[in-house]
Chain A
Amino acid sequence: MDLYEYQARDLLEEQGIETPKAIFVRNIQDVAQAAETIGFPVVIKAQVKIGHRGQAGGVKIAHNRDEAVQAAQRILPMTIHGHKVSGVLVAEAKNILHEYYVSISVDRASRDFDVLATANGGTEVEEIAREHRESVKRLHISALDDFDLDAAMDMARSIGFYHADEAQAAQILLRMWECFKHNDATLVEINPLAKVGDPDDEASKHLCALDAKISLDGNAAFRHGGWAQFDNADEADPYERRAQEHGLHYVHLNGQVGVIGNGAGLVMSSLDAVSFAGQDQGTGVQPANFLDIGGGASAQTMCASLEIVLSDPQVRSVLINVYGGITSCEQVALGILEAIDELNVTKPLVVRFDGNAAAEGLRILAQAQRPNIHVEQTMELAAAEAARLAANGGEETK
């Protein structure tokens, strides 16, 4: 789960990492007041969970009240790379002397945690890695060991912090590690970690976290009160939210073929099969969603799944692809019929069953004699049929 900058800043501050004074506002009428409270100049920053927002015009500096309001008026309605801006952070503008990059993340390949830092901060990390590969320093922390002050000092020296800043940099690295561990994060990134202050006043110079990106481990929500403080319920996709209430994993995708299956891998594979079929048939039909009913799903779960998928008005046909392991195809068949009766479903449903109780499931569907149920032998044939029916407007029945 990714956090907004304004939320990530709070977690850094909890560990004693300095960030610029800032106020998060959602509404344009609160911007002027916030800017005056902070003091000019201010930076108006789009709050959005995607990178490259600066290049997209989502960050503006404002020297007075009018500029602040104008900037917020432009930024608040923006959608950046498909993500709607949720508000703006009105932040104190700092005089930047140098920009560093520091992050701690889960390293899947080495199965530990990875501290990554460079003295060439400021841009996105992918660009840094491309353009300044030699300057990027890494340190692996094993889950059995800890990150201590000596290691942090070594890291700070190797990155190339000015001598005067090494001790403070080491403290910040240690506090980021605390933040990472304490919050069950998968990523804590400060970019830029900036040296700020008056160039003529040595005493004013220090390090400050000018931006923050934190991702939390969804699997650890149980030991953090369900991350209730970060729940942006009003912003979640309504279909995804309803699926979540039923304990189902749903991702909305904007195509025409609803997809339901058991197991994440098989559902992803089904999405690909629908998309390939759309290409092969020359219709460009795409999957409308990912929905995994999980292992051992009941008829009720299947019925609820169909209800959610069919509530998307773009859906013209549905592919139901089940390889029964623990899941019984018989239960899935009963759920399909229940949904057809309760919701008066007329859109075509293409079913492919294999594995546990597949024969029983197919028998139940055959006996029900519903004109909109189409049975196919393999997932490839079923995906092709679902794509064809969606392209025909989803009206055709047997």
Chain B
Amino acid sequence: MTVFIEDDAPVIVQGMTGHQGMTHTARMLKAGTNIVGGVNPRKAGTTVPFTMEDGTVRDIPVFATCQEAKAATGAVASVVFVPPKFAKGAVVEAVEAGFDVVVVITEGIPVADSAYFVELALRNGVRIVGPNCPGLMTLASSSESHGVNLGIIPDGIVSRGPLGLVSKSGTLTYQLMGELSDIGFTACLGAGGDPIVGTTLQEALAAFEADPDTKAVMMIGEIGGSAEQDAAQWAHEHMTKPVVAYIAGFTAPEGKQMGHAGAIVSGGKGTAQDKQEALEAVGIKVGRTPAQAAAFMREVLASL
């Protein structure tokens, strides 16, 4: 079974021909992701050569629009590396083209733009991951297939195992993947650090709950908003699988944005303390450090 997206799913990259897009398309290909096209109206009709791990060169075609790319390649997902100014147009195009999954890596998108494309995606049954996230990585469910690496999560830290991971932060995702690399994951999803995101912590928990191969979920939150509290409540009411959490930002001062657009305590709301209390109130263990969260996860798995 796979979660969020099928193994070997064909994928296109929006903004592939930019610097970020080129770097990460090469990385995603090396990780075994089935990238079948790029989108850039100014370079439509050309191909971009990428050197693969075994030394062979793969020419990736560039299309003018998402719709054309989808029709020509059968792609089911798109990864967006388009700069903030043009991100709304790019994501709307992807949603309207009807991809199943659209992963938005871009940081710095105005919240009004995100609100627009997230609502559009919800109405069209398209899953958006992000924005302002490291992406989505799945680990192959069989030896004959490849998982997909959509975004910037480093390949090679983890292999297939019983854990699911969802996180508001990129580097804390890598940190916890590293801490639990010997156990392994079904999928790691970067929910993103913006106030409005396409897949919330709660929605990611729901997907892991529905996936028979995922046995327990690591959830990484941070200050700002109430996504952790909402996820805690949902888990309490609907989840059969254990969740272990880590929350960053206990020392963050009121009213200061801590890097991510959504990471801000305002009017006394959105503190790490509140989140920890809400999670613990429904029996979810919260690590004081990432290492302690990983240790809690080991205990939880041992008791299953």
Query: Which residues of A line the B interface, CB within 8 A?
Result: 2, 49-51, 106, 108-109, 111-113, 125-126, 142-144, 181, 184, 186, 217-220, 222-223, 249, 251, 253, 261-269, 271-276, 286-287, 290, 292, 295, 323-326, 354-356, 378-380
Contact = CB atoms under 8 A, between A and B. Distances in A.
A112 B110 contact: no
Contact of A268 (B85, B223, B268): B223
A268 B84 contact: no
Nearest to B116: A143
A147 B225 CA distance: 24
14 contacts: A106-B111, A109-B225, A111-B115, A111-B196, A143-B118, A143-B119, A184-B111, A217-B110, A264-B169, A265-B172, A269-B248, A323-B174, A325-B134, A354-B178
A219 B108 contact: yes
A265 B251 contact: no
B23, B173, B259, most chain A CB atoms within 10 A: B259
A253 B256 CA distance: 10
| A-B pairs with lowest CB-CB distance, top 4 | A265-B169, A264-B259, A263-B171, A266-B171
A275 B258 contact: no
Contact of A264 (B108, B227, B255, B263): B263
Contact of B261 (A219, A272, A286): A219
Contact of B116 (A144, A266, A267): A144
Contact of A217 (B112, B250, B260): B112
Nearest to B19: A296
A370 to B, nearest CB: 25
Given A265-B172, A268-B223, A325-B174, 9 more contacts: A111-B119, A217-B111, A222-B84, A251-B253, A264-B263, A265-B173, A268-B249, A272-B250, A325-B171
A208 B112 CA distance: 28
Contact of A323 (B171, B258, B289): B171
Contact of B253 (A125, A220, A253): A253
Contact of B110 (A50, A108, A113, A223): A223
B289 A276 contact: yes
Contacts of B263: 264, 268
B138 interface: no
Contacts of B246: 269
A109 B230 contact: yes
Contacts of A292: 259
B76 interface: no
A309 to B, nearest CB: 15
A107 to B, nearest CB: 9
B168 A108 contact: no
Contact of A184 (B112, B169, B171, B258): B112
Given A264-B193, A272-B251, A380-B289, A142 B119 contact: yes
B290 A251 contact: no
B206 interface: no
Nearest to A287: B251
B242 interface: no
Interface in B195-232: 195-196, 220, 222-227, 230
A301 to B, nearest CB: 15
B225 A286 contact: no
B81 to A, nearest CB: 12
Contacts of A273: 289
Contacts of A222: 84-85
